[in-house]
Structure 1
C-alpha cells in the first residue's frame, strides 16, 4: 500500500506524540458483537491486526441479492492468521499477473468481513484517539478482495500511526445484480453498513469515530465519490479520498442491458427469463451463478479502459444518481474534506 502513503501524509498528521492511557490492554478487544482476538502483525510487531471480522449477516440463502443486515453474532471471534508473503518475488510482471488474478485468494459467498490494523496496543497499554482510514478496493465492481497482500494495512498503520480498515463488499452479480423489483447496488450498501460498524466499534481499537476517512482506488474511488452524494446529510465520515476514480469516471449500462444480463443468467440457471426470478436464484449454488455471469461480455465504450462490466452499479436515486454534475452545482453533497488526486480529478477536487 505504499502508493497510498502520500495521500495519508497530506490528510493525516503523525500522531506519535499521543500518550497511552494507563490502562491494561491485551490482544482481545471488546466490541458490540463480543470480544475479538487479534495478533501481532508478521512484519510490523508494533501493529496488531484483526482479520476477517464479520460486520453483516452472511449474505446467503434468503439474504442473497438482499440488502445487508447488521451482524448479530456474539462470543469470542478469532481473526485469521497473518498473511504469508513468502511466495512474492521482485519480478514486476509476476506481481502484476498475481494482482490481476485476484491474488489466488479463496472466494466465498459469505464475504462481508473487514480487517483492522492498529498501533493503539503498545507495551500492555491502550492508546486512543487515532484517525481511522477505511479503504474500498477497486476492480470495476467485478473483482477484488481485502484478502490480498497488496491491501495489507500493517505498513500503512505503522508508518502513519493511524487505524487502517479494509472492507469486503459484494461484487459482480452478487453485489450489483440489476434484477427487476429488487434492491439495487448491494455492494455499496455493504460499504455503508461496514462504516457504521466501524463508527460503533472503532474506539475499542484505538480509533476516533469522529475522524473516519474513507478512501478508494479506481472503482473504489468512484464508490467514495458516490458516497458524498448518497449520504449528503449523514456521511458519518469526516473525509473522502477518491484516487483514480470519481462519480463521472465510468459509463453505466442502459437499463435494458442491465435487465437482459440478469435474465440471461437466471434463464441459464433454469429460473426463467421474466418476472421475479430472485427466489429461484437463491436456491442455486453460488459458483454456478458466478460461472454463468462470467460468460457475459462487457459492453463497449469509447475506451477499452472504460468498458462496462455486465453487472455494474445503476442509478437508483439512493446510492447512485444519474445527474452528478447537477447535484454538484446545487451543492447536494456531504460538506466534508474531499481530495481527488490526478488523473481523474474532477468533481471531488472542487468540493470544500
Structure 2
C-alpha cells in the first residue's frame, strides 16, 4: 500500500517510540523507501514483504520479457503478497490429501490470493547495516512451473534467520503455466517464450543491485531452488555462463536433466485455448493480441477445469527448448565449458518418487516409487554432477533420508519429495506437532551446511568443517546424508549410481 507523504510524517513519532524504530525497519533503495515489519515469533528478523521488482506484466506487457520496476516512492512491505496466476488441482495426492503445508497459505482446493500483477519479492534479514555484508540465499520455489509462491507455510524462512542472525533469505514470485510459458505462435519470432525464467534472472539482478541496503553481500549470493526451482537453477547455469551474478548454486531434487518441458512445435496448446475464447481462426499476431485482452482468471479457470477433468488431449504450459534459456544439449554444452563455473550442491531425497506414483491413503507401490526416484531425481542428479565434475566445477552431493511424523505423517511416505524443506527452513515444528531431538539436529545440520557453502563460496577447505567431501573421481559415490538415524553422515551411494547408466539416458 502506498503511503501519502503527510501520513508518513504523522507516523514517524510513533515509529520512533517503538523498540524497533524507523532506522531498523525502513530501507531506502533507488526505487523508493520500503517499510518492513517484525512478528513476535521471530523478533530479531526484519521482514520486507512484497517488494515490486518488475513492472506489472499485464495488458500489453502480458507475455513479454519482464521490465524493471518503476520508482514507487514509498511502500508498506508488511504482508506476504499475492501469488502469480495458478490453480491447485482437486485430484487426490499427497499434497492435497496428506500435507497441506506445502500449498500456498496451507489451503486445500484453493491457492489463496493470486493476481497477474505478481512480480514481487520478499527479504528476511537480521538486524544489519550496509556494512554487515551478510551472505544471501535466493530461493526459487518448485511446483512443476504451474504452482508456487512466497506464502507456502513450510517455505517461510524467519525461523532460520532468527536462529543464525548471520544470513539473509530472499524469495520471489515468477510467472507460471500459461502466463510464464505460453508457447504461442504469435511469439515465435521472439528469442524466448520462457518468460518465467526471465523473471528469475531479473530477480537475481534486483538482489545484486539492492541487497546491500538490507545488509547483504552482492558478492555472496547463493541461487537455491527445489524441484522446478532446482530445474530453474540448472537452466540458469547454462543461460548465463559468463555472468551468473551468483557465487554458488543449490539444487534440491531437480536440475537441468529433469524433463518437464513442453514439446509443441505447432503451438497447438495455445491455439486450442484461444479457440475457446473467441480468438480462434486468426493469424498468429492477431491471435496473440486477442488473447492479451482475455481476463486472466477466465483463462486460469478454463485450464483448471480442463486439467482436473483429465480431458484429452492434455494442454500443458511449461518451459520450451529455445537455446537461450533451455537447451537440448546440456551434456555437450557442459563439456564445452558453456556453463557457469560456480560451485554447486546437487541433492535428492531417498523417497523423492513417492508423490509421482498412484496415490492411495493406505500406501503406494514401493517398487514403482523407487524406480521413479531413480529415473526422475537420483540419476539426473548423478548425470548433472558428473558432467560438472568433467567441466571442472566443484560439486557437493547429498541425500536427505529423514522420516519425521510431523512432515511425513504416514510412515510409507519416508523422505518424500519436498520433505527436506521444513528442515532447511526450520518450519518443521510449527504446524503438525512437536519435533524430535533428531529432527532439530538434522535441521540445524542442513541449515549450517547450506550457509557454510554460500558464506565461503563453496570453498573445499571450508566445507571440510562440515565433513562434506567434494564430489570427485576419488570420492565418487560419496554423499552427505541427512536425517538417517543421525543428523548427518557421509555415506556411499555407489550402488544406486551404478544403476544409472542402464536406466537413464538423457
TM-score, scaled relative to structure 2:
0.58
Cα offset for 1:120? Answer: 3.2
Pick which of 144-153 and 110-119 moved more.
144-153
Cα offset for 1:255? Answer: 2.5
Pick which of 161-170 and 244-253 moved more.
244-253
Cα offset for 1:74? Answer: 2.6
Cα offset for 1:153? Answer: 1.5
- What is the CA–CA distance in structure 2 between the aligned matches of 1:187 and 1:139, rounded to whole Å? 13
Change (3 A) 1:97 1:81: closer
In the other structure, the counterpart of 1:217 is 226
2:127 to 110, 117, 120: 120
2:102 to 96, 99, 102: 99
Pick which of 41-50 and 187-196 moved more.
41-50
Structure with greater proportional helix content:
2
Cα offset for 1:93? Answer: 8.0
In the other structure, the counterpart of 1:163 is 168
- What is the CA–CA distance in structure 1 between the aligned matches of 2:55 and 2:98, rounded to whole Å? 34
- What is the CA–CA distance in structure 2 between the aligned matches of 1:152 and 1:326, rounded to whole Å? 37
Compare relative contact order (CA 8 Å, sep 6+) and give the higher one, 1 or 2.
1
Aligned residue-pair number: 309
Determine helix, strand or coil for the equivalent of 1:52.
strand
Question: 1:83-125 CA distances to partner (integer Å, 9 max, x unpaired)?
Answer: 9xxxxxxxx987613534663421111110001000134xxx6
Question: Is residue 253 of structure 2 the alignment partner of residue 264 of structure 1?
Answer: no
2:385 to 340, 345, 349: 349
How is 1:127-276 mapped onto 2 (pairs within 5 angstroms)? Answer: 128-160=132-164, 161-182=166-187, 183-256=192-265, 259-274=267-282, 275-276=284-285
- Provide structure 2 residue ranges, at least 5 long, that are not aligned to the other structure: 1-21, 82-94, 349-376, 394-506
Decide which structure has the larger Cα Rg and report it.
2
Change (3 A) 1:101 1:31: closer
- What is the CA–CA distance in structure 1 between the aligned matches of 2:97 and 2:299, rounded to whole Å? 30
Change (3 A) 1:82 1:325: closer
For the 8 Å contact 1:49–1:118, the answer to whether it is kept is: yes
- What is the CA–CA distance in structure 2 between the aligned matches of 1:42 and 1:265, rounded to whole Å? 47
How is 1:49-60 mapped onto 2 (pairs within 5 angstroms)? Answer: 49-60=47-58
Question: 1:183-228 CA distances to partner (integer Å, 9 max, x unpaired)?
Answer: 4100000010011111000000000001001111101000000000
Cα offset for 1:43? Answer: 1.2
- What is the CA–CA distance in structure 1 between the aligned matches of 2:242 and 2:103, rounded to whole Å? 37
Pick which of 230-239 and 140-149 moved more.
140-149
For the 8 Å contact 2:257–2:384, the answer to whether it is kept is: no
Question: Is residue 118 of structure 2 the alignment partner of residue 111 of structure 1?
Answer: yes
For the 8 Å contact 1:210–1:238, the answer to whether it is kept is: yes
For the 8 Å contact 1:242–1:341, the answer to whether it is kept is: yes
Determine helix, strand or coil for the equivalent of 2:213.
helix
Cα offset for 1:291? Answer: 1.6
Determine helix, strand or coil for the equivalent of 1:255.
coil
- What is the CA–CA distance in structure 2 between the aligned matches of 1:127 and 1:174, rounded to whole Å? 39
- Provide structure 1 residue ranges, at least 5 long, that are not aligned to the other structure: 1-23, 84-91, 301-307
Pick which of 247-256 and 167-176 moved more.
247-256
Cα offset for 1:328? Answer: 1.5
- What is the CA–CA distance in structure 2 between the aligned matches of 1:77 and 1:192, rounded to whole Å? 23
Cα offset for 1:80? Answer: 2.9
Extract structure 1 runs of 4+ deviating beyond 6 A: 92-95
TM-score, scaled relative to structure 1:
0.82
- What is the CA–CA distance in structure 2 between the aligned matches of 1:200 and 1:101, rounded to whole Å? 29
Question: 1:11-35 CA distances to partner (integer Å, 9 max, x unpaired)?
Answer: xxxxxxxxxxxxx942100111111
2:27 to 17, 26, 29: 29
Cα offset for 1:149? Answer: 1.8
- What is the CA–CA distance in structure 1 between the aligned matches of 2:315 and 2:221, rounded to whole Å? 31
Change (3 A) 1:205 1:213: same
- What is the CA–CA distance in structure 1 between the aligned matches of 2:177 and 2:261, rounded to whole Å? 14
For the 8 Å contact 1:141–1:171, the answer to whether it is kept is: yes
- What is the CA–CA distance in structure 2 between the aligned matches of 1:159 and 1:55, rounded to whole Å? 28
The RMSD of aligned alpha carbons is 2.4
In the other structure, the counterpart of 1:312 is 318
For the 8 Å contact 1:142–1:309, the answer to whether it is kept is: no
- What is the CA–CA distance in structure 1 between the aligned matches of 2:260 and 2:210, rounded to whole Å? 36
Determine helix, strand or coil for the equivalent of 1:253.
coil
- What is the CA–CA distance in structure 2 between the aligned matches of 1:155 and 1:313, rounded to whole Å? 33
